[in-house]
Amino acid sequence: METFLDTIPQEKGTYLLLVQVEDNPIIHATKKKWMFEKGIYAYIGSARNTGGLRARIGRHLKQDKKMYWHIDYLLANPNVEIIGTIFTTSKKNLECKVVKTLIKEGTGTPYAKRFGSSECKKGCPSHIIKLSTDTTPLKIKGILSTKFHQKTFFIAIF
């Protein structure tokens, strides 16, 4: 996995984790609880700190880490696996715009109210979307590349 991480830039940016969920796990995070249905989800986040995208995506891939964000609790479940990522470098935080774009374009539906968006000030219902069965990583990349003209989105499938 380290070789893969070397290909991800250390710049600030926005990313999607493509997450496969099996067996309907119940996730307890802080004071909240969510039940996830079997399926593929896109979790949308931003990498704004030192190490940028490489550090943030690398942290999500680690098994042994301090539980901090909602996504940490989901990824700790043995029935959940990261299967890919889509990302772009950007000095601007595009997280909420990406969420709203994907929902508007019909790639899936917001899932787990306020998941990953408890501090969101832009009215996002959630920062995790349950993808429809006809949504592929290439379709998501195409939508984002079209809607965010100045940004190039990259895909990595694990």
How do the pLDDT tens digits run along the chain, 158 residues long? 566 788 899 999 999 999 999 998 888 887 888 999 999 999 999 999 999 999 999 999 998 999 989 999 999 999 999 999 999 999 999 999 999 999 999 999 999 888 888 777 888 999 999 999 999 999 999 999 999 987 888 988 77
Considering only CA atoms, which of 3, 157, 148, 134 is closest in space to residue 81? 157
The dihedrals phi and psi of 26, each to the nearest 5 degrees, come to -100, 125
92 in Cβ contact with 48 (< 8 Å): no
Considering only CA atoms, which of 150, 152, 139 is closest in space to residue 87? 152
Q: In total, how many domains does the chain have?
A: 1
CA distance 74 to 72: 5
Can you give the residue range of the structural domain that contains 19?
2-157
DSSP secondary-structure letter at 78? T
Helix H or strand E segment including 127: none
pTM of the predicted structure, to 2 decimals: 0.93
